[in-house]
Structure 1
Amino acid sequence: MSSALFVALVLPLLAAVHYYVWRRTVRDTTTPGSWWRRGGTALIVVLGLLLVAAPPGERGLPVPLNAVVGWPGFVWMAGILYLTLALLAGEVLRLFLLRAERRRAANAGPGRPGDSAAGAEPATRTDSVSGTDSPEPAPAPAAVLPLSRRLFVGRTVALVSGAAATATVGYGAYTALGPPRIKHLTVPLARLDPAAHGFRIALISDIHLNVLVGRSRTRQLVDLLNDTGADLVALVGDLVEDADVADQGRAAEPLADLRAPHGAFYVTGNHEFYSGADQWVRFVRGLGLRTLRNERVALPGFDLAGVDDASGADVGEGPDYEAALGGRDRDRAVVLLAHQPVQVEEAARYGVDLQLSGHTHGGQLWPFTHLSRLANPSVAGLSRHGDTLLYVTRGTGFWGPPVRLGADPDITVVELASPRA
C-alpha cells in the first residue's frame, strides 16, 4: 500500500475506531478532569501510535527497539479489533442497562434520589368556578440519569467488553505462539507411479521470521518436521517477514538441520520479494535447501516443480509456468509448489496433479477467516479445480498481530497414493 493511500484511507479509519474505543472505555467510565480520564486518554493515544509505528519499525528501527515497539503495537492490532467488536456487541447491553436505570429513576418518585424534579414547586391552576388557585400536577419529566448511574452503565459495558477482548486475544496469542498441529492427509493421484505410493511430503509455509519470532521458533519447527519422518520437506514461501538476511538470517539457520531422504525444497513467497528475494534464495541454498525457481526435478514415480510467487512479477521475477512445467512427460504425475492458492489457475492449464500452497494463514483472525475466501480459491484444506487438486496449509506463523483465532497453525504431512499400487 502506498503512503498516500495509507494516509488518505487507513489513518482516518484508525482514528475513528480509536475515538470510538476511547469514548466507550474512557469518557463513559470516568469523570471530567479526573486522573483516570487523563491516563486512559494518554494510553489510547500511545497504543494508537505504536500500532501505526510497528510495521515500518520492523525494518526502520534498530534492534532491540523494533521489538519494544513491535510487541505492544502488533498485539494492539488484535486488541483494538476485538475490543471494538466487543463494544459494538455491548451496545445492546448498554441500551438494556440504560433503560433499566431510567425506569428505576422514574419510579423513585418525587423527592427521592435520582428524581431530577425533586424539590420543584407544584404547578397551580385557577379553579374556573371558585376562582381560587389549586395545585395541578405537572407532567412527569423524562427521567435523567444522575452521573453515578451513567458511570455504572459505562463501566459495566467497558468491563465486560474488555474482559471478552482480553480473553480472545490471550487465547489467540497462545494458539499462534504455541506449537503447530501435525496434520496427516492422503491424496490419491491417478497418474502417480506405484513406485511413489506412500511417498510423504512434510508441508510447511509462512514461518514469517520477524521481530516477534526468532531462532527458537525455527528450531522448534525443524524438530517437528524431522520427527514426521517424511520423505521430503517442502517450504512454500514466506520464510521471513519483510527483513534482510543481515537482520533475520541467524533466526533461519536451524533450517540447515532439516533431515529427509529426498531433501528439503523451497519456493519464494510474496514477503521474500518485499524483502529482496535473491538474498534469501542465496542464503537458503547455503543452508542446504534446494530452491525451485520456475524449475522441476524428477523424483521416484513423479515430478516435483516449483514456481516463484506471483508478486515477483513486479520486479521481473514472477512465475514461469512454461519453464517449470512445459515439455514434461504427461504420463508422469507432477506436484507443484506455489506459494499462493490463486496460482492454481495456471497450474490447471498445465495439467498439474496436485498444487501445494500456503499464503492465506487460514485467514488467521476471525472474521477474516471468512472474508479471505473472497480473494482466494481456497483458504485451507483440499479442494479440486478442474483436474487439479489444491491443498492449502494454514502455515505456522502470523502476519502482524501474534494472534490466531479460528485458524490454528499447522504442518501437514501429505501422503501420495497411487490407484495402481
Structure 2
Amino acid sequence: MVIVFILAALAVLAAFGALHWYAWRRLVRDTTAGPGTARRVGTAVFVAGPVLLFAAFAAERGGAPFWLQQVLGWPGFMWLALSLYLLLALLVGELVRPLVRRLVERRAAAPAPATATEPVPVRETEPVPAGPKPTEPTDPPAPAESTAPAAPAEPATSADPAPTAPSRRLFVSRVVGGAVAAAAVGTVGYGTYGVVRGPKVKRVTVPLAKLPRSAHGFRIAVVSDIHLGPMLGRGFAQKVVDTINGTQPDLIAIVGDLVDGTVEDLGPAAAPLAQLTARHGAYFVTGNHEYFSGAEQWVDEVRRLGLTPMENARRELPALDLAGVNDVAGEDDGQGPDFAKALGDRDTSRAVVLLAHQPVQINEAVDHGVDLQLSGHTHGGQMWPVNFVADAANPTLAGLERHGDTQLYVTRGAGAWGPPVRVGAPSDITVVELASKQA
C-alpha cells in the first residue's frame, strides 16, 4: 500500500513538473530571443511558484507558525490558480497559434506596392531660321542640354523587408504568449475579487408537506465553507456576519468548514460570529476541515460565541424539528455521524430539517425520513473545470434536488479553500424559505 502511494505521488509530481516545463517553454523560452534578463526572470518565476505552493501546503498541514502560513499562503496558493488557467489558456493558444503564424507569413509574402515616379519634362528647342550664317563674331556656344529622359529612380516602398523565419516565430510566440498570460491573470484576478468582496445572497423556496400553515415563510440563512484561515480572516468573517444579519432570518445554519486552523490562531478571526442574530438562534455542525483543525476545541469556541453546536443532536422548534450530524471525517476520531441518535425517537408527523456538511450523507437522511437536508462542502466546484470532478463525486453539486422523499439543498459556500479564487461558482449565503402546502 505504501509503495502504491509513493508511486502515485511520483507520477503526480512528474506530471506537475512536465506541465510547468511546457508552460515555461511556451511563455518564457519561446518569447525571448536568447539568454538574458527577461529569460532569467521568467525562469525564476516558474521555479519559485511551485516551490511556494508546496511550502504553503506543508506549512498549513504541518502546523507552522501562523505568520509563516500567511506569508506563504498568498503567493503559493495563488500560483495554484494561476498555473491552472495558464495551462488551459495555453491549450487554447495551441489551436490559435497556426492561424496567427499563417497571417504573419501571408503579410510577409505580400508584394510591396510600387510608388509611381513623375516623368522628367523634355525641353523643346526653337527652330533655327534658314539663310547665310552671320559673319560677326559670336560667343562660344553653350553646351547643349540633353533632351533624353532621365532614368527612372528606384521605386520607394512603404513596407519593410519580410522578416526572417526565426523573427516570425518569435513574433507569433510573443503574441500568443501575451494573450495567454493576459487571459490567465484576468481570470484569476476576477475570481479573487469575487471571493474577497464577500458572498451574495441567494434565495430559494422549498415546500414541505409536513410544515404547518403557521410556519409558512420560515427563513433559514444557510452558510457553509467560510474557511477562515491564513488568507481569509476577521474582515471576511465580518462581511459574512453582516450579510447574514441583513437577511433577518428566523434561524441561522452554519453547515461546516468554518475554519482552516486552530482556535489559538483563528479565534480572533471568528469573533464576529458572536454578532449573529436570529429569532430561533444560530446552529453549527462540523465539516471535514474542522477535524483537521481541532474539532473539539472549535465546538467549544462556537458555543462560547453564542452558537449551538449540533453534535448528532436534535432540537424541537415550535413548527419543526432541527437536527444535525457530525461530518464523516470525524469517524477516524470516533466522532462520526450518528443518524439514529439525531433522528431516532422523534415524532415523524413533524417536518425535520437536517444539517449535514457533505451531500453524500443524503442516503442515510432518506433512510431516516428527513424532509430537507442542508449541506455545503462542494463549493460548486470553486474553479472551472474542477466542477466536473466535484459533480462526479457528489450526488448534488449545488442547488435544490430531490432524492426519494427527501429534498437536498447544497450551497456553494461563502469562502474558498486553497486559492481564494472562484471561477464559474460564485460564493453565496442562501436564504431558504420554507413553504407550507397547507397555506
TM tier relative to shorter chain = 0.7 to 0.9
Q: Determine helix, strand or coil for the equivalent of 1:48.
A: helix
Partner residue of 1:278 out of 296, 310, 317: 296
Give the partner amino acid of 2:270. Answer: A
Larger C-alpha radius of gyration, 1 or 2? 2
- Shift in alpha-carbon separation, 1:227–1:103, aligned structure 2, 3 A: closer
Where does residue 193 of structure 2 map in the other structure? 174
Give the partner amino acid of 1:394. Answer: R
Q: CA deviation at 1:8?
A: 1.8
1:148 and 2:167 aligned: yes
Q: Aligned partners of 1:11 and 1:219: how far apart in 2?
A: 39
Q: Deviations over 1:118-156 (max 9, x none)?
A: xxxxxxxxxxxxxxxxxxxxxxxxx99632221111111
Q: Determine helix, strand or coil for the equivalent of 2:289.
A: helix
- Shift in alpha-carbon separation, 1:149–1:267, aligned structure 2, 3 A: same
Q: Is the contact made by 1:101 and 1:145 (CA closer than 8 Å) also made in structure 2?
A: no
Q: Aligned partners of 1:323 and 1:396: how far apart in 2?
A: 29
Map 1:87-106 → 2, pairs under 5 A: 87-101=90-104
Partner residue of 2:246 out of 224, 227, 251: 227
Map 1:212-223 → 2, pairs under 5 A: 212-223=231-242
Q: Aligned partners of 1:260 and 1:298: how far apart in 2?
A: 16
Map 1:70-219 → 2, pairs under 5 A: 70-101=73-104, 146-219=165-238
In the comparison of the two structures, how many residue pairs are matched?
386
Q: CA deviation at 1:32?
A: 2.8
Give the partner amino acid of 1:340. Answer: Q
Could you tell me the TM-score, scaled by structure 2's length?
0.84
Q: Aligned partners of 1:171 and 1:308: how far apart in 2?
A: 35
Q: Determine helix, strand or coil for the equivalent of 1:270.
A: coil
Where does residue 267 of structure 1 map in the other structure? 285
Could you tell me the TM-score, scaled by structure 1's length?
0.88
Give the partner amino acid of 2:73. Answer: G
Give the partner amino acid of 2:17. Answer: A
Where does residue 45 of structure 1 map in the other structure? 47
Q: Aligned partners of 2:100 and 2:274: how far apart in 1?
A: 60
Where does residue 62 of structure 1 map in the other structure? 65
Q: CA deviation at 1:186?
A: 1.5
Where does residue 36 of structure 2 map in the other structure? 34
Q: State percent identity of aligned pairs.
A: 57
Q: Deviations over 1:186-228 (max 9, x none)?
A: 1110011223222111111100011111011111111111111
Q: Is the contact made by 1:311 and 1:318 (CA closer than 8 Å) also made in structure 2?
A: yes
Q: Aligned partners of 1:5 and 1:62: how far apart in 2?
A: 31
Q: Aligned partners of 1:371 and 1:416: how far apart in 2?
A: 31
Q: Is the contact made by 1:197 and 1:416 (CA closer than 8 Å) also made in structure 2?
A: yes
Q: Aligned partners of 1:101 and 1:259: how far apart in 2?
A: 64
Q: Deviations over 1:149-199 (max 9, x none)?
A: 211111111001111111111111111111211111111100112232221
Q: CA deviation at 1:62?
A: 2.4
Unpaired runs of 5+ residues, structure 2, are 113-161
Q: CA deviation at 1:356?
A: 0.3
Q: Is the contact made by 1:105 and 1:145 (CA closer than 8 Å) also made in structure 2?
A: no
Q: Aligned partners of 2:273 and 2:109: how far apart in 1?
A: 70
Partner residue of 1:405 out of 420, 423, 437: 423
Where does residue 130 of structure 2 map in the other structure? none
Q: Deviations over 1:221-274 (max 9, x none)?
A: 111111111111000000002x11111111001111111111100000000011
Q: Aligned partners of 2:63 and 2:10: how far apart in 1?
A: 22
Unpaired runs of 5+ residues, structure 1, are 110-142
Q: Determine helix, strand or coil for the equivalent of 2:38.
A: helix
Q: Is the contact made by 1:236 and 1:358 (CA closer than 8 Å) also made in structure 2?
A: yes
Q: Determine helix, strand or coil for the equivalent of 1:73.
A: helix
- Shift in alpha-carbon separation, 1:99–1:331, aligned structure 2, 3 A: same
